[in-house]
Amino acid sequence: MKDEQSNPKVLKNQYIPTAEFYSQVIDSLQDYSIFTVDTELKINSWNSGATKIFQYETDEIIGQHFDVIFTDEDRKIGAPELEIETALKEGRAVDNKWHLCKDGSKFYAYGLVFPLLGKNGEMLGYVKILRDLTERKKSEDSITNYVKELEDLNTHKESVLAILSHDLRSPLAGIISTAEYLKLHHSKMKPGVISEMLELLHKSAKEELDMLDYLVEWARIKYASDVFTPSKLKLTEYVQKVFDTLNENAAIKTINLHNDIHENTSVFADGKMLISILQNIISNALKYTDAGGTIVITTKQNEDKLIIEIKDTGIGMAKEIAEKLFTPQMNSLSKARETNKGAGIGLLLVKGFLEKNGGEIWVESSIGKGSSFYFTLPIDKPLSVIENLNKIDTPV
């Protein structure tokens, strides 16, 4: 009896797993996609977990190249082939990335590829194992975005407080001092001097109101997110609205405002923010374009984004100024305001609104040759997919 227990060869009723048993085990792993490909990278087996995740039935997927599950972006950079090369070289390849389902939707997965060898070491193909981590990824992204939102909110608060304490308080002190002087001495002053001082007061007060309007709009980016209501908008209509409000200023300087956008061109954005974006950029273009100049608005499509260009024949700017145009330091806003009449915070406003709408902005300019401001906006409602993902190293 002792010999029988110590020697597995003489054990009675011993169960030896069959290939069918292993197949059933693999097929029962509903949370894992497990399939094999041959040496030509054609799929030749497909478990029920793969069907659940990718939506392809077995008879639909067998015979297809395994790059069918990769996104267009990954196929363009040769990610499927790189996985195979790494698996051959290192014995396995591990990755965390988005994959493509039959209906075009994406899911995030931990993936493992390793060579499949025969009894005599011959190459039979490869095994690909994927674990769906989409929900976990969404949770992690939500936390990351929330932390970033808090950091941005704190920075935003400090920026607003800096402007309120310096860029608004200092000029208001000057306005009050001038008004007090007039109050005490107006009876002894010449009418011409009083008129000049009143004109100065009016001009300074108007500039303060303009700055306050900028701040209210800028604060709305973060503090009033409930009023952010993006929708499908006809771009030409919004450009025309801005042109209508600026036509008088343009006519005074004999500057031609030209809308070269196709009538049916649309973007997905918040209407009030779009008006503010266009008005700020076009107003600046008018300010720095000489009499008889031209401002032209054109568009071109780049994948799912629309690139809008606002080109002027103005004075242009140096490269070092252009590079810092959308990231002014708080301590330089007073100087920017003095020289650009509010352009510094106005472009901060534009940048903030564009980021809120999923866009970006940049400028190309040369001194004496004018400037081209470019910004992007989504054409349709963006999918809730986050790019530039952090890697997750999770074992299967």
Check: CB of residue 187 under 8 Å from CB of residue 144: no
- Coil, strand or helix at 297: strand
**Domain residue limits, the chain:** 2-132, 134-227, 229-396
Q: Which CATH superfamily is domain 2-132 in?
A: PAS domain (3.30.450.20)
CA distances from 23 to 27, 109, 113, 120 (A): 6, 22, 18, 22
Residue 75 neighbours by CB distance under 10 Å? 14
Give the pLDDT band of residue 245 (cuts 50, 70, 90): confident
CA distances from 395 to 368, 370, 391 (A): 59, 56, 13
Nearby residues of 306 by Cβ (< 8 Å), 6 or more positions away:
235, 265, 267, 299, 300, 376, 377, 378, 379
- Coil, strand or helix at 35: strand
Report the percent of the chain where pLDDT is more than 90.
22
* CA 17 to centroid of chain Cα atoms: 52
Stretch (H or E) spanning 125: strand 123-132
Stretch (H or E) spanning 358: none
**Is 242 or 338 the better-scoring residue by pLDDT?**
242
Architecture of domain 134-227: Orthogonal Bundle (1.10)
How confident is the model at residue 225, as a pLDDT? Answer: 52
Q: Is the pLDDT confidence value at 221 over 90? A: no
Q: Is the pLDDT confidence value at 121 over 50? A: yes
How confident is the model at residue 132, as a pLDDT? Answer: 79
Overall pTM > 0.85: no
Q: Is the pLDDT confidence value at 360 over 80? A: yes
pLDDT by residue (tens digit) across 246-257? 888 899 899 999
Indicate the length of the chain as a whole number. 396
Give the Cα separation of 183 and 187 in Å (integer): 9
Give the Cα separation of 207 and 202 in Å (integer): 9
Give the pLDDT band of residue 147 (cuts 50, 70, 90): low
Q: Is the pLDDT confidence value at 170 over 70? A: no
- Coil, strand or helix at 234: strand
CA-nearest of 259, 383, 350 to 311 is 259
Sheet holding 43-46, edge to edge: 43-46, 32-37, 123-132, 106-117, 93-100
How confident is the model at residue 19, as a pLDDT? Answer: 47
Task: Using the CB atoms, write b or e for 6-26: b if 16+ within 10 Å.
Answer: eeeeeeeeeeeeeeeeeeeeb
CA-nearest of 71, 115, 87 to 389 is 71
Give the pLDDT band of residue 261 (cuts 50, 70, 90): very high
Identify the CATH assignment for 229-396 out of 2.70.150.10, 3.20.190.10, 3.30.1360.30, 3.30.565.10. Answer: 3.30.565.10
pLDDT by residue (tens digit) across 131-143? 878 767 666 666 6
